[in-house]
Each structure stands twice: as C-alpha cells, then as structure tokens.
Chain A
Amino acid sequence: MNRAIEALKEKFGAALEGIWQETERQTYAAIRKDSIVKAVGFLIQNLEMRFLFLFASDERKEAGCYRIRYVFSYPHEDQFLILVVKVDEKEPVFPSITPWMPQASWHEREVQDMFGLTAKGHPDPRRLVFHEDWPKGWHPLRKDFKFSGKIPRDKGEYPFEKVEGEGVFEVPVGPVHAGIIEPGHFRFSSAGESILKLEIRHFYTHKGTEKLGEGKDPRHLICLAERISGDNSAAHAMACAQALESLSGIEVPRRAQFLRVIFLEMERLHNHVSDIAGVVLDVAFGFGAAQLMRIKERFMRLNERLTGTRLLRSIITWGGVRKDLSDQEKEFLLRETKKIKKDFDQTIQIIWNSSSFLDRVEGTGMIKKEIAEALSGTGPVAKASGVDRDLRRDHRYAVYPELLFLVPVFDEGDVESRLKVKIQEIYESLKLIHEAVEAMPQGPCSMEPKPLKPMKSALGYTESPRGECFHWIATDREGKIGRWKIQSPSFANWPLIEYAVLENIVPDFPVINKSMNLSYSGNDR
C-alpha cells in the first residue's frame, strides 16, 4: 500500500489533503474535488486498483460539508483505499466519473436522489431510486430530512429510452411478474423475437433501509441487515457484524470464526441449488427442477435443524455467533452433507446429459469479459465471464485464509458457464464445511460486545452467494450509527443484464435472469 500512497502523493501533491488509516487494512485519502476524476483514473490505470463503489454522507453537522467516498480494492496487498471528497453545502455539485467509468453510473444517480448533490457531466441524470411521484427537493439521507405522516405524491412520467425503426415494438414487463419473484420493471424493445434493447427500472422495493439503520442499536442493526436480501441473510449479517466489530475493537473468538464460515457456506449451498433449479424449471425440464428443489429443501431442513431458522437468520451476531454446534450436530452435518452431495451428483449428471436442456443454456445470455470488468460485475456472474475475483481469497476475513478452496472461473460467459460456476462452488462449499468442521477449535463462540467508538468508520465485507457484499458504517459523536451504506452484489450486477440479453430472444429472458439470480430487494434496499 505504501508504494501506492507514495505514487499518489507524487502525482497529486497539493491536491491531496490528508492520508490516514482507520483500521489495519483500510486507508483513507482526502483529495480535492477538482482532482477526483484524474485520481480515480490514476488508481485504476497505473496502480491496477479496482473500483468497488461510491457513496455520500451528510456530515454538515460534524464537518460542515457532505463527503463522497470512492472505495477501491487493492487485491495484491489485501488492502482497501478510500478516496474522500468534500462537497460544500453551498455548492452541492461533484464531478461525475461516469463518462470514464460506466460502473459508477448507478452510484452517482443514487447520490443525486438521496442527497440532492448533482453529478456534473453525468450522461444519464434521470432519477434512479425514486419514481416519478416522489416530490422534488426531498432527499431522505440528508440529516435534516424529516417527514411527519405522509410524503405527498407528485405527478410525472419516467422518460424511457426509445428504440425507433420499422417493426420495432416495446414489451413492458412488471412490476408484478408472472412467477413468484420480486417486483421490478423491464422494458424490452424488440424486432421480431430478438431483443434490441432492455431497460430496467427498479427500486419498487425501496424501503429506506439505510436511513432506518441510523441510530439503531447494533444488535437490531444486524436484524435489519438480515432482511436486506432474505436469501443472503447470513452474508449481510456477517458484513454488518464485521464492520461493527471493527468499530468496537473486538476480536471474534476463533471458534466463532469457523462457525461463521460453516453458516456462510451453508447459505451458498441452498442459494446455488435454488438458482440451478430455477433455470432448469424455466427450460421446462420438470424432473430436474423437482429433484433440485427437493435437494434445496434438504439443505434448508439442515439449516433449520442446526440453527433454528431456515434462512440462517439470527445466527451471526455482533461479537460471534448465537448458537454453537455440539459434537453430535457436527457429525450430523458431515453425514447429511455427504448424503446430499451424492444425491446432487446424480441429479446434475442426468440434467447435463439432456440435450434439450443444454440446447437452451449454451451460448444464451452471453456477457463478455470486457463488459463484466467495465461494469464491475461480481460473484458467479463475473466468474463465468473470466473475471477471477473472490473476496474470500483476495481480502482475508473470518478464517478463509486457513482453509483450502478453489475459485472456479469459466471464460464463455453464457448461462451454462454461470451454472457451472455455481455447481463448482457447491462442491467447494461442501469441502469448506468439512474442512471447517474438522479444524474447529474448542472455545467460546461469542464475545461480550463493547460500545462503538465515536467518530470512526469501518468497512465489513463478505463474498455472498451473489458476489461481493459491503457494509460501511460510520459512528457519530455519541458513538451511535451515523451512516450505514450497504453495497449489495445485485446493485453491481443488475446493469449487466442489459447486455446479457442483447440479440437473445424474449423467451430466453427468464432463463438469463434466473441464471444471474439478482436480488431486487438487495438492489433497492
């Protein structure tokens, strides 16, 4: 990291207003607003850093300004660098980096909606989070945002992008879909059967979670984190707990860290099996879908038996885990996972022998590596397009560095390779569970938490079944939660689907959508 800091100092000198470390692996650098575009470009091109996300916070009370933070990963050294830019209240404008970095587009539009800061030079300044009936000038993440009773509804229309030409028609889908899935709007422009353009319009499930978290008791914050994206409960709880633990300066006991790995991998198992089942169902292969759904239920029953909840909720907490595994339960877990593995093996072999199944998934929903990289794709979606990234390996957390596992990467980028990544990850997760159970030391499984330190900030992260999941928490003067930023993997991956469907036929959209399995609630928060 020192080399990177030196290079940054040399290049930007006077524009750099300060460098400090909040935790061991998180370095902050304050930089002047007018240099941010160049600095971001420099970090990516010259230092091979990777842009993760950006977000704003309202610090008018503490520092008299808004701040925007740009989070970068430096995987070679397992470090995070966070650039901090001040935005004055009197001039609520910041330079947009989107023209050079398309992955920042949604982030900047979100900052515009939530804080009322304008991204100058943004190529698509439409609203993102709030729909047309949200009144102008209401920015909920500002500290002085107050509402009593109801927020009025405005009138307005969302300007969709139009594709024009002979024979081009639009297919609007949603927000209420035909299947049992979450709400979101898709607008296809197609000619004949093939899709010329897809525009997604989400945030129907926006629940104001980040605002709700402000001032909450940390234990309750984890309860809320578990409900950001229901099927990724444990991953969000883990990221949130990690940030809270850094803020209160507690070391989680070793046994708890092994248990966390077990629960996180158990979550990956039921998620991935469910995704594969969904794709198999969408191509109308009834046998495969029924068998995989049955296997998923076996995993969920295993969760229930070991933790008391089917979605692994209320298990990971601030300071450790809430339930230990007895020797008997450990044995049960090993025995049961072995049996399910055999069951899964047989089913997958039958499915992959079916030519009618392969015909639908091969070459469908292609995402090229360049697109996945340029849009900061993450998780199995990126891994299937040849992007070799995994937080479990690149940025140490829990006890992953002590365990042996492979990160599957495929190059094709189609539905089949996304499924293959998931299947490989299932085998790796089973292996990880076995390793963790055997290596787990004796000891306590949770620590009595200490109060949060005031005026501090910390980043927590996990590789959730969908990809990289980050929680950034800052405390205020009283040591309460002042800002809670949630970066869910779905927020990073949704824009990719607009590319994945191009030149595919409309009936293949459900298959592509399911193979990416993005969470609407995690995206909208």
Chain B
Amino acid sequence: MLRILKKNFKVGKPTLPYCPGQTQAPEGFKGSPEIDPEKCTGCGKCIAACPTDALSIFDSRQEDKRTLFLNYGDCTFCGLCEPACPYQAVSFKGKFELARRTKKELILDFPFTLSKCEKDPEFVPEEAIPSKEKPNVNQSFSHGDFSSRFTFDELSHHLKEKIKSIFGRSLHIREVDAGSCNGCEVEITNLANPIYDAERFGIHFVASPRHADMLLVTGPVTRQMELALVKTYAATPSPKLVVACGGCAISGGIFRGSYAVVGGVDQSIPVDVYIPGCPPRPEAILFGIFLALDKVSRDRK
C-alpha cells in the first residue's frame, strides 16, 4: 500500500490538457497531408502514389478546367504522396483536428486551368490517372441491406438539436467495431488512460448500447457486421448521436471495393460527425466527440 502511494506521488499528474483548436500535437507527429496551392501545379503525379482514392483528379475539357481533390475521409495518412510530388507541394505538419459534420467538408479542392497544366513537364494526362471520380459525398444510409428496419422516430433529425442541450457535459458512449483493423480501438482505449482521461470531460464508455447516448463506430462496416451494427443502433435509446471514427468508417478507406465490406458507416445508419485518421490520435477523437456535442464553438468563444 505504501509503495502504491509512493509511486502515485512520484508519478504525479500525467494528464495532459486538451482544448479544441489550441492543443498542438507532440513533436514528430506526422498528421494529415496538406497541399500548398502556391507550389502545386496540378500535374497529377501524386494520384498514382495514393493507396486509396484520397487524391483524385477531375478534368473538364469543355471548361478547360482540372480539379484536384484531397479527401481526408479516404486518406490513410501514409505519406506516400509527399515524395511523389515533384514540386514539394505536399507536406505533413501534424494537423489532426479534422473531424467535420458532413463528408463535403472533408474534401479540399484545388482548381487549375487544364491547358496551363498540360505545359507542365510532369503533366499526367487524364487517361493515365487511376482515380478520376469526383469524391462521393452521399450520406444516405438507405443503401444498407437492413435500412428498412428503422422507424420514423429514430430518424427524426430535429431531436438531435435537442440532444446537445440535454446532454450538457455528460455523455455516455458505446463503442462499436464494425470491422476495423483494431488501430482505432487502440486509440479509443487510450482515451481512458490517465494521459487523455476522457472522464474529466464527462465522457464515459458504457457496456451496453441501451445505456448510451452516442455510438462511436469504427471500421468499414463488413457485410457480416452490418446487421449487428443496425441492431446496436436500434437498441440505443433516442435521441442519439453517431460518430464515425477513422478513414474506414467514413468511406471504407483502404478496404473500399471489397466484396466483404459495405463501405462506410453512413451506408447503413445515419452519421452525425466524421473523424478522419488512420487511426485518429486520441485528441482527434476527443475533438470529434466535442464537435458532435457542439462544444467546439462554445469553447472557442
């Protein structure tokens, strides 16, 4: 007992402060890719380096326009685009607070004039570009095999406005792994450690969806987990919030296109906030949860 007290005394308080928008990631953390529009020429060299469709190009001959899309919802933060860029326009500066309410807000677009791009010696023509689709911003959950299970009450969105005032500072979360690689679970577990200590914000992880206000869903939603996810959603009392955590949960990420995945949580159940990252670091998850509760703007004021 004395040794426990001694150790506790010696360690002191390891908890780190966290305030949305003001906390810096520790030194060395790579974070998300950023494109410098001053340096980027729209050549398209980076597209082939990307393992997912996070980088894509859309050409329009008629308008003489080329658009480069950077979709954080698809990004695995692998860093392969950085060395692929001949102009050093891609950099990683440790940014992590990327959570947004809609998929559209996760996408950055960089417009270029196509005829100008073609003069660039590094220019990659449209035919040679692997992903030339406009990013999918569809958030409808009617694509799931089990969407007919929902009742009207569960879907009434106006209730969600009320939630934020009702929950105040206390929030009970049920975590659901819908097929993640367990990277996100590692980081969510870390939220409970003394360093990030989510309990100090009133955030508590509960054992059953019936006790939860929010579902924190990870993974691309595998075909074999879809029913379990929908059932868990149905078991959570209304009003409820859903946060999709990690690149897979937003769009299917690196697993999109497989026969065994649905490809994103919002294909099966409605989602309120998307947290990009592969996996998102614990503070990024906290940021997403705060955003869902509308606490971010309040704190910033």
Name B207's contact: one of A131, A179, A522 (CB within 8 Å).
A179
A310→B224 contact, CB < 8 A: no
**A519-B194 in contact given A205-B222, A305-B27 (Cβ < 8 Å):** no
Kindly list chain B residues whose C-beta atoms are within 8 Å of the C-beta of A300.
190
Inter-chain CA distance A159–B156, complex, in Å, is 39
Kindly list chain A residues whose C-beta atoms are within 8 Å of the C-beta of B194.
290, 293-294
User: Which bucket holds chain B's interface residue count?
Assistant: 35 or more
**A206-B222 in contact given A183-B179, A211-B259, A305-B26 (Cβ < 8 Å):** yes
* Binary CB contact string for chain B from 226 to 270 against chain A (1 if under 8 A, 0 otherwise): 001000100000000000000000000011011111000000000
Minimum CB distance partner of A147 in chain B: B259
Tell me the residues in window 184-198 of chain B with beta carbons closer than 8 Å to chain A beta carbons: 184-190, 192-196
Is there a chain B Cβ closer than 8 Å to A50's Cβ? no
Inter-chain CA distance A307–B26, complex, in Å, is 12
Tell me the residues in window 346-363 of chain A with beta carbons closer than 8 Å to chain B beta carbons: 346-347, 349-350, 353
A304→B208 contact, CB < 8 A: no
A308→B28 contact, CB < 8 A: yes
B51→A230 contact, CB < 8 A: no
Is there a chain A Cβ closer than 8 Å to B182's Cβ? yes
Kindly list chain B residues whose C-beta atoms are within 8 Å of the C-beta of A217.
51
Inter-chain CA distance A306–B28, complex, in Å, is 7
B187→A310 contact, CB < 8 A: yes
Minimum CB distance partner of A184 in chain B: B177
B3, B145, B278 — which one has the most chain A CB atoms within 10 A of its CB?
B278
B219 to chain A, nearest CB (A): 7
Kindly list chain A residues whose C-beta atoms are within 8 Å of the C-beta of B28.
304-308
* Binary CB contact string for chain B from 267 to 295 against chain A (1 if under 8 A, 0 otherwise): 00000000000110100000000000000
Kindly list chain B residues whose C-beta atoms are within 8 Å of the C-beta of A176.
176-177, 209, 228, 232
B14→A294 contact, CB < 8 A: yes
Kindly list chain B residues whose C-beta atoms are within 8 Å of the C-beta of A353.
3
Kindly list chain A residues whose C-beta atoms are within 8 Å of the C-beta of B123.
none
Name B7's contact: one of A293, A297, A347, A521 (CB within 8 Å).
A347
A208, A229, A306 — which one has the most chain B CB atoms within 10 A of its CB?
A208
Is there a chain B Cβ closer than 8 Å to A178's Cβ? yes
Tell me the residues in window 62-98 of chain B with beta carbons closer than 8 Å to chain A beta carbons: 76-80, 92
A182→B182 contact, CB < 8 A: yes
* Binary CB contact string for chain A from 493 to 525 against chain B (1 if under 8 A, 0 otherwise): 000000000000000000000000001111000
Kindly list chain B residues whose C-beta atoms are within 8 Å of the C-beta of A437.
none
**A212-B181 in contact given A180-B189, A205-B219 (Cβ < 8 Å):** no
Is there a chain A Cβ closer than 8 Å to B45's Cβ? no
A153→B145 contact, CB < 8 A: yes
Stretch from A220-228, A379-387, A424-432 contacting the other chain: A220-228
B78→A314 contact, CB < 8 A: yes
A204→B183 contact, CB < 8 A: no
B181→A228 contact, CB < 8 A: yes
* Binary CB contact string for chain B from 193 to 214 against chain A (1 if under 8 A, 0 otherwise): 1111000000001011100000
Inter-chain CA distance A521–B183, complex, in Å, is 10
Name A229's contact: one of B29, B181, B208, B281 (CB within 8 Å).
B181
B27→A223 contact, CB < 8 A: no
* Binary CB contact string for chain B from 49 to 61 against chain A (1 if under 8 A, 0 otherwise): 1010000000000
A308→B225 contact, CB < 8 A: no
B195→A208 contact, CB < 8 A: no
Inter-chain CA distance A224–B51, complex, in Å, is 8
Kindly list chain B residues whose C-beta atoms are within 8 Å of the C-beta of A131.
224
Kindly list chain A residues whose C-beta atoms are within 8 Å of the C-beta of B79.
308, 314, 322
Tell me the residues in window 146-184 of chain B with beta carbons closer than 8 Å to chain A beta carbons: 175-184
Kindly list chain B residues whose C-beta atoms are within 8 Å of the C-beta of A175.
225, 228
**A203-B224 in contact given A290-B194, A294-B11, A297-B195 (Cβ < 8 Å):** yes
Minimum CB distance partner of B248 in chain A: A227
Inter-chain CA distance A45–B78, complex, in Å, is 46
Inter-chain CA distance A290–B12, complex, in Å, is 12
A229, A231, A313 — which one has the most chain B CB atoms within 10 A of its CB?
A313
Kindly list chain B residues whose C-beta atoms are within 8 Å of the C-beta of A153.
145
Inter-chain CA distance A209–B256, complex, in Å, is 10
Inter-chain CA distance A224–B228, complex, in Å, is 25
A294→B193 contact, CB < 8 A: yes
Kindly list chain A residues whose C-beta atoms are within 8 Å of the C-beta of B181.
227-230, 521
Name A230's contact: one of B4, B26, B224, B279 (CB within 8 Å).
B279
B188→A180 contact, CB < 8 A: yes
Inter-chain CA distance A313–B190, complex, in Å, is 17
A480 to chain B, nearest CB (A): 14
B259→A293 contact, CB < 8 A: no
B76→A223 contact, CB < 8 A: yes
Is there a chain B Cβ closer than 8 Å to A35's Cβ? no
Tell me the residues in window 237-280 of chain A with beta carbons closer than 8 Å to chain B beta carbons: 274
Inter-chain CA distance A208–B205, complex, in Å, is 30
Kindly list chain B residues whose C-beta atoms are within 8 Å of the C-beta of A11.
none
Kindly list chain A residues whose C-beta atoms are within 8 Å of the C-beta of B184.
230
B26, B30, B78 — which one has the most chain A CB atoms within 10 A of its CB?
B78
A346→B7 contact, CB < 8 A: yes
**A209-B185 in contact given A294-B14, A294-B194, A308-B29 (Cβ < 8 Å):** no
Which A residues lie at the B interface, using CB under 8 A?
130-131, 140, 145, 147, 150-151, 153, 175-176, 178-183, 203-209, 211-212, 217, 219-220, 223-224, 227-231, 233, 274, 287, 290-291, 293-294, 296-297, 300-301, 304-311, 313-314, 322, 346-347, 349-350, 353, 519-522
Could you list 23 A-B pairs, sorted by A, with CB under 8 Å? A130-B224, A151-B259, A176-B176, A178-B208, A181-B185, A182-B177, A183-B225, A204-B224, A204-B225, A208-B261, A211-B258, A223-B76, A224-B51, A227-B181, A229-B182, A230-B182, A287-B8, A290-B194, A296-B193, A307-B28, A311-B183, A313-B78, A350-B7
A sample of 9 more A-B contacts (CB under 8 A), given A204-B222, A205-B222, is: A178-B208, A205-B180, A207-B220, A230-B180, A230-B183, A287-B4, A308-B29, A313-B278, A314-B78
